[in-house]
Structure 1
Amino acid sequence: MVELLYLPFYLGLLILISPFVGYYMAFILNVKTLPLEKWIYQFIFSGSPPSQTPKQYLSSLFIFHTTGGGILFLILKFQDHFALNPLHLLGMDWDLALNTTISFITNTNWQAYSGESQLSYFSQMFGLTPQNFLSAGVGISVLAFVSRAIVSSKTNRFGNFWLDLFRSTFYILFPLSFFVSILLVGQGVIQSFSGPIQSMGLDGVLETIPMGPAASQIAIKQIGTNGGGFFGVNSAHPFENPTPISNFIQMFCILFLPASCVFLYGKITNSFRHVWVIFFVMLSFLILGFVGVYFSEENYLGFWEGKEFRFSLTESSLWLSTTTAASNGSVNSMHDSYSPLAGGIAIFQMMLGEVIFGGVGTGMYGMFLFLILTVFLSGLMTGRTPEYLGKKIGSNEIKWTLFGIFSPTICILIGSTITVLLESGYSAKGPHALSQILYAFSSAAGNNGSAFAGFSADTLWGNLSLGFSMLVGRFSVIYAVVIVAGSLGGKVTTKAFDGNFKLDTILFGVLLFSVILIVCGLSFFPVLALGPILEQILISKGIFF
């Protein structure tokens, strides 16, 4: 009975809390001055921070990431020269350090390493954790910029990147993470600077039990939809996720800020009914994904393989659905052990491009591109001039919209094709090998970070190709949405009239759902048919890989 109520309770809490958090975020990002800011303005800007054009905003963003990425790379490469390294771990190889750096500045947290055995406490605390905050803060900042641009008229300045990032980090992400850290410590998630403990196992073999400051990183990895675990097996590790309550807290944190960002967008653009349509389109994808995963696993004879007995099938299936919907990447079970159909659903959710809630900020601004595309196609079908919230959509906006949607798609397909030809990086054969490769590149280009564990990512090709995919998946979309929003912001906002296409109806929700499904389906169905779909058919006939 409890298991039957788990999903309704989870979704009900999400629906109840998300609007209030979204309105709070909108207030924080749009209020003129907040406490402690005046002296910061004087020190950095010699006055109020100036509003920036789209190109200035992007320039600040890229400068910030280049600088932060350089610092993180040096920390990882030379971690053996820093303190808080009780295991005396050596620095990472340059290609793994580069891959990990790209992974964390893009909010991906792809882990081609095992945290407790390859990273010092210093690297985890002062290298990775700050990027967990800052990469999520960038996502919120870009969404705020896009939202302001949509409601502006005949101007090209929509906010200041440095101010948006400061407020997103210190007034939204930091207090939430501090609160969740305390909750997790209360559930037994470790937070310690002690070195590893030596203990004699039941079989008489001396075991090394890793310790470390885990809770503080786990909180922001979930709240910021980052996903990189302190330990190699992530939230399947009992020190990261010891109880069903800690499991629920972490799983709720995966979605509630991305869901709140929908209402942040609605508050700034003053389009409340419209964003409820968007919210329920996202929710529909999530529920359908969960149902597919759950019933596939329930009917799969080996469904307990790769799962923790302390969590029910509902908890494991819902985690897989939420983490691949939200570009989070954390796991409480091993995704490579799921049935081919369940694994295929996880892959497809990542292929959709972070639009089923997605990352913090990134899900909503990724959905913004599909909103533009849906309005444009609807206008073509009905003979109307396409308009979105009073802004006429032209060829320039459509070109950049398609660029943002299809750039990650190209990385997934081309990267997977080359990897297959190289015959490296995977342990399986047949369609499951293709599924492992597809999962890796979908996870990288979708800035998700989870993996099919059978894929050997720590190779020169794996580190460089997946790193490139992460960069394209993150920054091509950011560039596209900022340019499109900036272009729309420079146009005159027209008044709504009865002939306008309504954006707050069930019809528009159905159209939006269909456009997302059709665009991604046409892009990926052939390769999915050769991977997880074929594998599911063969397993039903008793052929295994």
Structure 2
Amino acid sequence: MWQIAIVLSIYIPLVILAGHYLFRVTMKQKTWLDPVLDKVDGVIYKICGIKQVDMTGKQYVLTLMLSNAFMVLVGYLLLRMQSTLFLNPNYIDNMEASLSFNTIISFMTNTNLQHYSGESGLSYLSQMLVIIFMMFTSAATGYAACMAFCRRLVAKTDTLGNFFIDFVRVITRVLLPISIVVAIMLVSQGSPQTLRANKTIQTIEGKMQDIALGPVASLESIKHVGTNGGGFYGANSTMPFENPTVISNIIEMLSMMLLPGACIVAFSLMIAYRKKKTIFGKQGLSIFVAMSMLFLIGLVTVYVAERAGNPIISELGLSQELGSMEGKEIRFGVAQSALFTTVTTAFTTGSVNNMHDTLTPIGGLVPMFNMMLNVVFGGKGVGLMNMMMYVMLTIFIACLMIGRTPQFLGKKIEEKEMKLIALCILIHPAIILLFSALAVATTAGVAGITNPGAHGLSQVLYEFASASANNGSGFEGLSDNTTFWNVTTGLAMFFGRYLTIIIQLAIASLFAKKVWYGDSLGTLKTDNTTFTFFLVAIVIMIGALTFLPALALGPITEHLQITS
């Protein structure tokens, strides 16, 4: 457990520092990178013809959607014709149509679900110009939407900003500098960074083996910093080239956790800035603590389940002194694997340093439930927006119970907002459950399930939970590179990403147009311990009511079967 404690103790001061920096970038205050990057941004604005003027809500959403659609089109064409382009020393063929559709939607929605192995399915040009490029742009899109949402929620006037400016600033001032630092760290630990072709060597057994090389470190850095998750190799961060040492493992976990947590700190500072204060506000702290409580509950559950091991193996008289080590790397063990599993699904990154398909049933339930909730920090920016829906719902329910007018940040929560909030919360489970039902009810869906019974259902639930939450990890027992799975998960990723963002920005727009009221003695306090515990209870209760029947047929049944 001390390994876990060290990582979490390093994380807290880092996230506070990053949050203050994000706040300055978002509010266009001076940073130490401005003297250089102001000129870089100016060149980008001039070349692209970007006018530095505020947008309306509709303009912001439309610009976001159209820019993402353009990148999807260009990326799709590159994947379909990669064999004829340059930087293809390993002679990789063009990607098939349905797989190209799934891949390009996956990386544009910050999901990075991979139905292919990167070392054999993509040329170096595709890895850099499609995959790495979209890891930057998808993360920047999510952050830009989040900060527009926060600005509009906090502001006393109808203020939104400009999508292109938010988009460019977060890439040049946040994602790029941090990714460069992380890439250098990973290279120092042994991750390759080269454009040379794969090497064929003779092993100590006298057999020939291909060693896949490429720009691994640069992809791995933005993969984690941008909460993307797609690996250069099919084995993701279990592959020694992607994650060579315990130090690189810690670097990758901290990279995943940094910016989603920093978004909460930045939001809290925006609230304090409105109130003309300069310290981290209690409102952000209550949200951060609520997310941390959900995270720690999941972490402890995974660790205990994996440390206890498989009861069937114990019944056979075999030792499990190290815990359940199936699918885990010896160099990481149960502690580092349990923490990585919880981090990658709580922060919806999708990177894996162990095979989730081999987790114990309860150990596998936790990452699945993290993605079903999709509010335990979540992806870069999007997790905070999702949690804000539950914050407003909790305020509404609490005020109904005590007979007060629901109000948040000086704005009243009324019927129109509550309808949109309810719709936003329900979209995510509807995508998971409806697509899962379609998969188990059709021949094409069932054909991909390789493990019968409860575990097979768990694989299906995990796949669509990962797609809808824009996570990207998988149980990997599915034969998912088929037209059915490529198309259905592609649609799940698309709807899970853009429908919620559009609705959330619409809610923020409604709040921005409302009259601002100061707090009074009758205003419900939303920044104290009582509200924090109530918020956690509401999140768990809604998650359980929505998903418990499906989970009972999957991981819970499997757990009962192996313990009976």
Q: Normalising by structure 1, what TM-score?
A: 0.96
Question: Which of 483, 507, 519 is the matching residue for 1:496?
Answer: 519
Query: Does the 8 Å contact 1:133/1:169 carry over to 2?
Result: yes
Q: Residues of 2 paired with 1:154 and 1:322: CA distance?
A: 37
Paired position in structure 2 for 1:331: 352
Give me the whole-angstrom Cα distance separating, in 1, the residues matched to 2:397 and 2:485: 38
For the 8 Å contact 2:19–2:265, the answer to whether it is kept is: yes
The counterpart of 1:142, out of the listed 140, 145, 148, is 145
Task: Select the residue among 17, 21, 26 that pairs with 1:20.
Answer: 17
Picking from 358, 363, 370, the partner of 2:378 is 358
> Aligned-pair distance for 1:105?
0.4
The 1:383/1:429 distance shift into structure 2, 3 A limit, reads same
* Deviation string, structure 1 residues 117-137 (Cα, Å, up to 9, x no partner): 111111001111011011111
Determine the structure 2 residue equivalent to 1:279: 288
Aligned to 1:442: 465
* 1:109 equivalent in alignment to 2:86: no
Paired with 1:396 and 1:57, the residues of 2 have a C-alpha distance of: 21
Aligned to 1:10: 7
Residue 39 (structure 1) shift: 5.5
Residue 256 of structure 1 corresponds to which residue in structure 2?
A: 258
Q: Could you list the per-position Cα deviations for residues 108-156 of structure 1 after superposition, in whole angstroms to 9, with x for gaps in the alignment?
A: 000000000111111001111011011111111111111111122352x
Would the aligned equivalents of 2:88 and 2:124 in 1 still touch at CA under 8 Å? yes
Match of 2:276 in 1: none
Map 1:137-536 to 2 at 5 A: 137-155=140-158, 157-270=159-272, 272-301=281-310, 303-353=324-374, 355-422=375-442, 423-536=446-559
Task: Kindly report which structure 2 residues correspond to 1:69-148, keeping only aligned pairs within 5 A, or say none.
Answer: 69-148=72-151
Distance 1:292 1:7 in 2: 14
Per-residue deviation, residues 358-386 of structure 1 (Å, max 9, x unmatched): 10111111111111111111111111111
Q: Tell me whether 1:539 sits opposite 2:562 in the alignment.
A: yes
User: Could you tell me how far 1:424 is from its partner in structure 2?
Assistant: 2.2
Q: Distance in 2 between matches of 1:523 and 1:324?
A: 19
C-alpha displacement of 1:41: 4.8
- Equivalent pair of 1:244/1:310 in contact (CA under 8 Å): yes
Match of 1:61 in 2: 64
Deviation at 1:205, TM superposition (A): 2.1
- Residue-by-residue CA offset, 1:78-125 (whole Å, 9 max, x unaligned): 110111111211111110000000000000000000000111111001
Matched residue SS, 2:210: strand
Structure 1 residues 528, 280: closer, same or farther in 2, change over 3 A?
same
Query: One-letter code of the match for 2:205?
Result: D
Provide the C-alpha distance between the structure 2 equivalents of 1:381 and 1:468, rounded to a whole number of angstroms: 39
Number of residue-to-residue matches in the alignment: 535
In 1, Cα distance between equivalents of 2:47 and 2:557: 61
Distance (whole Å) between structure 1 residues aligned to residue 243 and residue 419 of structure 2: 44
Deviation digits for residues 25-72 of structure 1, max 9, x if unmatched? 1111212685224555566557x6111121111000000110000111
Residue 318 (structure 2) aligns with: none
Cα deviation, 1:198-251, whole Å, max 9, x if unaligned, reads: 112233321111111100000000000000000000000001111110011001
Per the normalisation by structure 2, the TM-score is: 0.93
Aligned mates of 1:39, 1:166 — CA distance in 2: 11
Amino acid at match of 2:238: A
Q: Kindly report the root-mean-square deviation, in angstroms, between the aligned alpha carbons of the 2 structures.
A: 1.4
1:64 is paired with a residue whose SS is helix
Secondary structure, aligned partner of 2:7 = helix
Once the two structures are superposed, residues 136-195 of structure 1 have per-residue CA deviations (whole angstroms, 9 ceiling, x without a partner) of: 11111111111111122352x410000000001111100000011001100111111111
2: CA distance, partners of 1:138 / 1:374: 28
Gap runs ≥5 in structure 1: none
Greater mean deviation of Cα atoms: 307-316 or 296-305: 296-305
Structure 2 letter corresponding to 1:123:
S
8 Å CA contact retained: 1:368, 1:481: no
| Alignment check: 8 A CA contact 1:386 1:393 kept | yes
Provide the rounded CA distance (Å) in 2 between the counterparts of 1:291 and 1:88: 46
Contact 2:449/2:478, CA 8 A, preserved across alignment = yes
Deviations 1:387-443 (A, max 9, x none): 111110111111111121111211100111111112221100000000000000000
Do the aligned partners of residues 186 and 264 (structure 1) sit closer, same or farther apart at CA in structure 2, a change above 3 Å counting?
A: same
CA distance in 2, matches of 1:394, 1:490: 13
User: What percentage of aligned pairs have identical amino acids?
Assistant: 37
Contact 1:100–1:109 (Cα < 8 Å) also in 2: yes
Aligned partner letter, 1:329: G
Distance in 2 separating the partners of 1:53 and 1:386 = 27
- C-alpha distance in 2 between matches for 1:38 and 1:185: 32
Paired residues of 2:19 and 2:263 also in contact (CA < 8 A): yes
- Structure 2 counterpart of 1:440, one-letter code: E
| Change in 2 beyond 3 A, CA 1:453/1:208 | same
CA contact (8 A) 1:292 1:342 kept: yes
Whole-angstrom CA distance in 2 between matches of 1:527 and 1:64: 37
Instruction: Give, in whole Å, the separation in 1 of the partners of 2:28 and 2:229.
Output: 31
Q: 2:28 aligns with which of 28, 31, 52?
A: 31
CA distance in 2, matches of 1:132, 1:190: 19
Query: Residue 523 of structure 1 aligns to a residue in which SS?
Result: helix
Q: Secondary structure at the match of 1:503?
A: coil
What's the CA shift string for 1:455-482, capped at 9, x where partnerless?
1111111000000000111111101110
Q: CA deviation at 1:299?
A: 1.1
The answer to whether the 8 Å contact 2:325/2:333 transfers is no
1:439 and 1:467 map into 2 onto residues whose CA distance is 15
Instruction: Note the alpha carbon deviations across 1:280-314, whole angstroms, 9 max, x for none.
Output: 11111111111111111111136111111111210
In structure 1, C-alpha distance between the alignment counterparts of 2:28 and 2:213, rounded to whole Å = 42
